[in-house]
Amino acid sequence: MECFRTDPERAVDQESSAMGSIDPTEGGKTSRTNLQMNFKHIISSSEQIDAMAFYSKYNFNLYSDFTFYLKDKDHGDEIQQTDGRNITVPK
């Protein structure tokens, strides 16, 4: 597998895995939870009630350091990206 890393050229000779990073604080977590409910109630031979509900919860938290210490020589240039979503679909 060929991999093109985003680490600076000075770090290419350092030993790390193909998916590794020279900054150990980079990385993150993501999670997703889904719930689906279906309801059916037969009232008579010609009538029924059907209902469906769907819920999804998504979380994302990522730390990236694309420029390392290029802009801030004392603290680094790491950024944090977060996202959280709740999706509901009644039908």
Gap between the Cα atoms of 44 and 11, Å rounded: 73
Backbone angles phi, psi at 66, to 5 degrees: -70, -35
Work out the average pLDDT over 28-49: 95
Percent of the chain with pLDDT over 70: 76
Taking the C-alpha atoms of 82, 88, 89 and 90 in order, what is their torsion angle to the nearest 10 degrees?
Answer: 180
Question: Does the structure show a pLDDT above 90 at 45?
Answer: yes
Q: What is the pLDDT of residues 62-79, one digit of tens each?
A: 988 877 777 888 877 888
What's residue 65's pLDDT? 81
Average pLDDT of the chain is 82
What's residue 74's pLDDT? 80
